[in-house]
Structure 1
């Protein structure tokens, strides 16, 4: 008879070294962008040490920003913040029929 371990992480957000949920994807996309930037800058003929310093600085800023957003907004906070732009400032009704007829 096979013995299976119970997955105790059900319904918990994915977390990797302090990054929660979608921020792992943001960091991965940023690192791929830095790799492409390094290739482009190197092909354009910049000195290798200049390229490394540029990418190291940009990578440091990327890590700091992604971790700051992850700590500030959490799993769904950044999406909620972005969705807030689409909420109307106010709702205007000309009559109360909508509310008085509902049962």
Structure 2
């Protein structure tokens, strides 16, 4: 009878070389964008050396930036940060000033009826 290994990574988070979750997708999208930038610059007539230098510098900035975000915010931190930016700064209640300041005493209302 053959013994089979059980897949232990069913509910494990997605990780590649330390990049977790959304940072992996951000990194892959950035690399795709750099490839398209290289193709566009090369088809525009720039020399291959200039294209390689520009895309190499942008690629280094991409790697540095994505790994910095990954280490700073963690697996879910960037999503929490973006969700926090979507919250309103103030909650505005449009009522008259007199209704907001008016103080009512509930004890006086019930004392007269007794």
Same fold by TM-score greater than 0.5: yes
Q: Give the deviation of 1:13 after TM superposition.
A: 2.1
Larger relative contact order (CA 8 Å, sep ≥ 6): 1
Aligned to 2:112: none
Q: Give the deviation of 1:89 after TM superposition.
A: 3.6
Q: Give the deviation of 1:86 after TM superposition.
A: 2.3
Secondary structure at 2:79 match in 1: helix
Q: Which structure's residues are more often helix, by fraction?
A: 2
TM-score, structure 2 as length reference: 0.72
Aligned length: 94
Cα distance in 1 for residues equivalent to 2:68 and 2:23: 10
Q: Counterparts in 2 of 1:1-103, with a 5 A limit?
A: 1=1, 3-89=3-89
**Bigger-Rg structure (1/2):** 2
* C-alpha spacing 1:92/1:36, structure 2 compared with 1 (3 Å): closer
List gaps (5 residues or longer) in structure 1: 95-103
Cα deviation 1:62-81 (Å, max 9, x = unaligned): 00000000010011000000
List gaps (5 residues or longer) in structure 2: 94-99, 101-114
Secondary structure at 1:52 match in 2: helix
* C-alpha spacing 1:10/1:92, structure 2 compared with 1 (3 Å): farther
Q: Give the deviation of 1:88 after TM superposition.
A: 3.4
Cα deviation 1:21-50 (Å, max 9, x = unaligned): 111111100000000000000011111101
